[in-house]
Amino acid sequence: MEWHQIENAAAVAHTRNFTRAAKKQAISQPALSRSIMKLEEELGAPLFLRGKKEVQLTQAGVIFVQKAQQALQLMKEAKEDIQEIVSPDKGHVSIAFLPTFGPHVLPNLIAEYKRIYPNVTFQLSQGAGEVNMKKVQEEEADLCITAPPYKRHDIEWTVVREEQLYITVPASHPFAKRPYLSFREAAAEPFVTFKKGFGLRFMFDEMCEKLGIEPQITFEGEEVPTIAGFVAAGLGLCVLPKKPEIAHEPLAFIEISDYSLVRKIAIGVKKRGALSPAARQFKTFAEKYLQQNHGGQV
């Protein structure tokens, strides 16, 4: 049984006439008749009662055409679904990102992208850097936007931005007026920081290890505003980037004098994964946007 035979049978059932069905299928009437006869031979039952002006479905024909129409509808839906996948202007993109990118980065980036490509849909999830990276590795997300770009053999990273990290203190703290401060001196104070698994915590722990320092940690959080709130309340110092969502907090950001602490923002995709056209186009757009557009400040 061939697909064109199914289409031909459905056309005959719809038009109730071989000549009209042949015209609809853009083939000759004899070719259509041979196609139907060959199909009936294969099925072992006639599908149509041929009349002079109109054909009628046999009992077998009713059953076959009903199933044929279902198959045709499924194939139509399959073609539409595939077009959604292969079209970069439609399709679906899944992104895993850090909570620090939620208030401004992702909303601004996606809003700008949907202004140009309104038919693309998104699935978003936020979490610690290692969690986001694992989602890409397990193909639960097309890409992740995270920091720092962890060294993994199966992830390909594109660095899109670098940002300075600072020792962050309450505005009323004795350190607040100083332009520079060594981390060794700051480490005598208690610290609040992110939970393990977050990129900022990874960088904080790496700095402590390289400097041979074990600061007292009084609180571990998951979001920049919460961490900043604890710092502003005088419950500890922290290492943070300057973020728009904490600009209202009475904080001072002091450059670290004894360690270069720069956070690299990167987009990660699976090396051997096949991105859909929509995801591939979004990745290219996101790279350019985050590299050039200050409105996408991270």
pLDDT(83) > 80? no
Q: What percent of the chain has pLDDT over 90?
A: 55
The residue with greater pLDDT, 75 or 134, is: 134
Report pLDDT for 85. Answer: 61
* Average pLDDT of the residues in 138-142: 91
Domains of the chain: 3-86 (1.10.10.10), 92-161+264-296 (3.40.190.10), 166-260 (3.40.190.10)
* Average pLDDT of the residues in 6-21: 90
Calculate the alpha carbon distances from 234 to 165, 220, 255 in Å: 19, 15, 19
- The answer to whether the beta carbons of residues 38 and 2 sit under 8 Å apart is no
| pLDDT digits 0-9 by tens, 182-239 | 999 999 999 999 999 888 999 999 999 999 999 999 999 988 888 999 999 999 999 9
- The answer to whether the beta carbons of residues 129 and 266 sit under 8 Å apart is no
Grade residue 89 by pLDDT with cuts at 50, 70 and 90: confident
- The answer to whether the beta carbons of residues 112 and 289 sit under 8 Å apart is yes
Angle at 92 between CA 286 and CA 163, to 5 degrees: 20
pLDDT(298) > 60? no
* Average pLDDT of the residues in 241-265: 86
Report pLDDT for 262. Answer: 92
Report pLDDT for 232. Answer: 93
Q: Which residues contact 182 (CB under 8 A, 6 or more apart)?
A: 256, 257, 258
Omega before residue 148 within 30° of 0, cis: yes
| pLDDT digits 0-9 by tens, 16-59 | 989 888 998 899 989 989 999 999 999 999 999 988 778 899 99
* Average pLDDT of the residues in 268-285: 89
- The answer to whether the beta carbons of residues 233 and 99 sit under 8 Å apart is no
pLDDT(79) > 70? yes
Report pLDDT for 231. Answer: 95
Phi and psi torsions of 152, nearest 5°: -135, 135
Give me the DSSP letters along the chain: --HHHHHHHHHHHHHS-HHHHHHHHTS-HHHHHHHHHHHHHHHTS--EEE-SS-EEE-HHHHHHHHHHHHHHHHHHHHHHHHHHHH-TTSSEEEEEE-GGGTTTHHHHHHHHHHHH-TT-EEEEEE--HHHHHHHHHTTSSSEEEESS----TTEEEEEEEEEE-EEEEETTSTTTT-SEE-HHHHTTS-EEEEPTTSHHHHHHHHHHHHHT----EEEEESSHHHHHHHHHTTS-BEEE---GGGTTS-EEEEEESSS--EEEEEEEEETT----HHHHHHHHHHHHHHHH-GGG--
pLDDT(119) > 60? yes
pTM score of the predicted model: 0.63
* Average pLDDT of the residues in 247-262: 89
pLDDT(247) > 70? no
Lowest-confidence segment of 129-138, 186-195, 253-262 by average pLDDT: 129-138
Grade residue 297 by pLDDT with cuts at 50, 70 and 90: very low
**The two structure tokens encoding residue 195:** 């939970």
Grade residue 295 by pLDDT with cuts at 50, 70 and 90: very low
